[in-house]
Structure 1
Amino acid sequence: MSITPDILLQNVTPISRKHDGNEQLDIRIRSGSVVEIGKGLSSSEDKEVQDFEGAYLSPGWVDMHVHLREPGFEHKETIETGCKAAAFGGFTEVACMPNTNPPIHTRDVVEFIKKKGEKLPVEVHPIGCVSKDREGESIAEMGDMQDGGAVAFSDDGDPVSNAQLMRVALEYSSMLGVPIINHEEDLKLSRPGYMHEGKVSTRLGLDGTPGIAEEVMIARDLLLAEFTGGHIHVAHISTAKGVELVRRAKADGVNVTTEVCPHHFDLTDEEIENRDFDTNCKMHPPLRTAEDVEAMIEGLADGTIDVICTDHAPHAIQEKEVEFIYAPNGIIGLETAWGVSVRQLLKSGVLELEQLLEKLVYNPREILNLEIPEITEGTVANLTIFNTDQEWTFEERHVKSKSANSPYLETKMSGRAEAIYNKGQFVLNEI
């Protein structure tokens, strides 16, 4: 990372809603803003010049679902280390979930997080709690938190199980113009649930979480969103029936959006058996079946699923190196999201590059009401530079997070984020 208000980016191929990705250009940045775009710009007056021959340049990517752990769990991750992981993954903005200690349930905690991230090259957007102390009993001060910088509300890590509380939250959503993001899980149906309930869990003798535990809660929230007019955002969707429920609700005009994580459109519950109970394959929602994975891909292709996010969930080594049933749920994902997405969605022909970028650049910002950066002269530079063809292997030395709980270590990746530029800072990713 470097404080780089002035730089010349050479031989990049801009791709955005205004650029078709077919022309190689130079981009000159002064004091953090784009001042000139053209071919063969002179570099004689530029102190820093970076040549990105063959790379694309898009508006900066957003991950709208990460866990940065601070305050309270800094042994897993900090805002600074989480942002380093985000920059390596190509993200210039992240939205962090409120299951911290104290939780993000008051304006002062929102402002603390904003303050901690203000000098970093990755913009941090706090997501406030729906309920006070994340206890699911009484509504938090959502309006005050929004005034402090909260961009959405969620009790993620846990669902909002109380239907009346969710109704009130969605009514606030319609007034404040922000989404309610729910961790869709009926706890009575899902627990103890150490993996997906199915053939593999039966063979392994593990209690499983059935898909219906997610689907019942999605159905409830869709009905409440329809009733209140509020905006429900379905977090980390993972089941085929869940996708179909959202698809039907969208067709009926319900104010609903949803997201999916790369591991849920790539890996199945068979990984737990194949990897001999590797706890880096334990997350919630759990890895599900091949049919569910195919449904995630179909949902991305037809637009039912709006956003790709990571649910980046760091855990310390000692927390994951235990028996499978005792390990916490969650994996890191910021560093590998692009490589998995390119392999599964772009190289396979499921999505065109422009469609993939919609789910990383535009849709998350529209959902969270964030300003969409442009690649035009006179605008603040918020940029991701990336390729789609570089083959590389994700190794432990590439982990920028404070934790390394990833099922993708020693996995081949297709494409990578080469650099980001944001907030007057340039981060070049070396591999």
Structure 2
Amino acid sequence: MNALLKSATIIDPKSDFHNQTVDILIENGVITEISKTLKNPKSIQEIDLKNLHVSQGWFDSSVSFGEPGYEERETIENGLKTAALSGFTSVALNPNTNPVIDCNSDVSFVKAKAEKHAVNLYPIGALTKESKGVDLAELFDMKNAGAIAFGDYEKPIENPNLLKIALQYASNFDGLVLSFPQENKISGKGVMNEQFTSTSIGLKGNPNMAEELQISRDLFLLEYTEGKLHIPTISTAKSVELIREAKRKKLNVSCSVAIHNLIITDESLTTFNTNFKVLPPLRTKEDISALIDGLKDGTIDMVTSNHNPIDIEHKKIEFDFAKYGTLGLESAFGILNSHFSTKKTIDYLTKGKNRFGVTSQAIAIGNKADLSLFNPNGTQKFTKDAIKSTSKNAIFLGYETKGKVYGIVANNKLILN
């Protein structure tokens, strides 16, 4: 793939051209020239887009595509196309498939389905067999097949000894263990945040304590084992405090927050719209404020869309019985960019790479082109027309977004909206 990006403003603190508007020549997928103005004697395809900005390719640490087993929700092919058109060059795929991704051949299958796509797909292997929380899965075999981490998607490890053993075993090969922060005996049948809103509308509540107890336990086990732990999608103020203290103690822990948990409160559930049924549940303004503070001071390591397509049969039903999950890839940049500066937005969308072992290269001559292309300006409402996924369960429908994603350059391919 050859292309000449014209008048592109580079947003990359690791690049010598940070904050500069330049032309970028890409030949065979490699950046060969960067200069204020470049001629085009070879008649290479020119990409001349309004207010074009480029950054290192964005990474999402938690996406679900359904395939294999739930192709009616999303296929890997369409999921990767959606990711590309949403500006992401790399995604970590959750193992909530059928069968669950819990062995070498399962990891190899999803990687093979993603070959020759512009977006890099990095499988997360299940931590336990069939994600049932009873026996450890084949972690080392999955690591050798290409799994970058191990966790049971949105299923907590109820047996503390099992998590202890997993942390100890994975440390032998620098494996990253994910532990979903929820104590099921406390959360019970709660379907939303336990607070004033849940009481007023008559839905069962899932209290903050269910998350915080589990995180406290997991951090205690982490300190004992000296393992490597990632806590996905935290949602409460106390959770931020717990992880902040653990980092002060130099524990090897990281965490993420879902974008919707940074923006939307539990008060939105008064409409009983099942698109707002997510796990962890939407919390309060006080929790959101603490999460944003944690993001700004580095306690929270990354944001995720927690993209989880759910077919209409499992969403357009009574709230108690609807499945948890929302789309998030398509709205991720526009929502973040409308609440944070563009530079912060790009930072939040790229800083998870190192933790998950995803290659990160500065925008520099001689490096492979792994770029997200976007315009940070302009506002519009997020509508169904913007959804590229097969499913349509988007929590941010009707929300104001800022900026426009043009596409990506990655793996020697150019994908544009």
Shorter-chain TM-score bucket reads over 0.9
Aligned to 2:147: 150
Q: CA separation in 1, counterparts of 2:287 and 2:2?
A: 47
Select the residue among 118, 131, 136 that pairs with 2:128.
131
| 2:386 corresponds to 1:398 | yes
For residues 61-210 of structure 1, what are the structure 2 equivalents within 5 Å?
61-210=58-207
Q: CA separation in 1, counterparts of 2:375 and 2:228?
A: 34
1:107 CA drift (Å):
0.5
1:53 CA drift (Å):
4.5
| 2:49 corresponds to 1:30 | no
- Residue segments in structure 1 that go unaligned for 5+ positions in a row: 347-352
Q: CA separation in 1, counterparts of 2:371 and 2:277?
A: 33
Q: Over residues 193-217 of structure 1, what are the superposed CA-to-partner deviations in whole Å (9 max), with x where a residue is unaligned?
A: 1110010000011111001101111
Q: CA separation in 1, counterparts of 2:228 and 2:91?
A: 20
Aligned to 1:371: 359
1:151 CA drift (Å):
0.3
Q: Give the share of equivalent positions with the same residue, in percent.
A: 39
For residues 329-340 of structure 1, what are the structure 2 equivalents within 5 Å?
329-340=324-335
Q: Residue type matched to 2:77 in 1?
A: E
Does the Cα contact within 8 Å between 1:6 and 1:46 map onto a contact in 2?
no
Does the Cα contact within 8 Å between 1:339 and 1:416 map onto a contact in 2?
yes
Does the Cα contact within 8 Å between 1:311 and 1:333 map onto a contact in 2?
yes
Stretch of structure 1 that moved more, 16-25 or 184-193: 16-25
Aligned to 2:402: 414
Aligned to 2:274: 279
| 2:340 corresponds to 1:345 | yes
Aligned to 2:416: 428
Quote the RMSD (CA, aligned, Å). 1.2
Q: CA separation in 2, counterparts of 1:170 and 1:161?
A: 14
Aligned to 1:234: 231
1:345 CA drift (Å):
2.1
Does the Cα contact within 8 Å between 1:394 and 1:413 map onto a contact in 2?
yes
Q: Over residues 359-387 of structure 1, what are the superposed CA-to-partner deviations in whole Å (9 max), with x where a residue is unaligned?
A: 221x3111111211221111111100122
- SS in structure 2 at match of 1:243: helix
Aligned to 2:310: 315
Does the Cα contact within 8 Å between 2:50 and 2:375 map onto a contact in 1?
no
- SS in structure 2 at match of 1:213: helix
Does the Cα contact within 8 Å between 1:8 and 1:46 map onto a contact in 2?
no
For residues 191-270 of structure 1, what are the structure 2 equivalents within 5 Å?
191-270=188-267
Q: CA separation in 1, counterparts of 2:120 and 2:66?
A: 16
Equivalent residues, number:
416
Q: CA separation in 1, counterparts of 2:43 and 2:172?
A: 48
Select the residue among 356, 359, 362 that pairs with 2:348.
359
Aligned to 1:59: 56
Q: CA separation in 1, counterparts of 2:193 and 2:16?
A: 42
Q: Over residues 148-202 of structure 1, what are the superposed CA-to-partner deviations in whole Å (9 max), with x where a residue is unaligned?
A: 0000000112111111110111112322213111111111111211110010000
Q: Residue type matched to 1:291 in 2?
A: E
Does the Cα contact within 8 Å between 2:333 and 2:345 map onto a contact in 1?
no
Q: Residue type matched to 2:166 in 1?
A: A
Q: Residue type matched to 2:298 in 1?
A: G
Aligned to 1:288: 283
TM-score (normalizing by structure 1): 0.94
| 2:4 corresponds to 1:8 | yes
Q: CA separation in 2, counterparts of 1:18 and 1:33?
A: 15
Does the Cα contact within 8 Å between 1:7 and 1:49 map onto a contact in 2?
yes
1:20 CA drift (Å):
5.9
- SS in structure 2 at match of 1:416: strand
Q: Over residues 301-334 of structure 1, what are the superposed CA-to-partner deviations in whole Å (9 max), with x where a residue is unaligned?
A: 1111110111111011222111111110010000
Aligned to 1:350: none
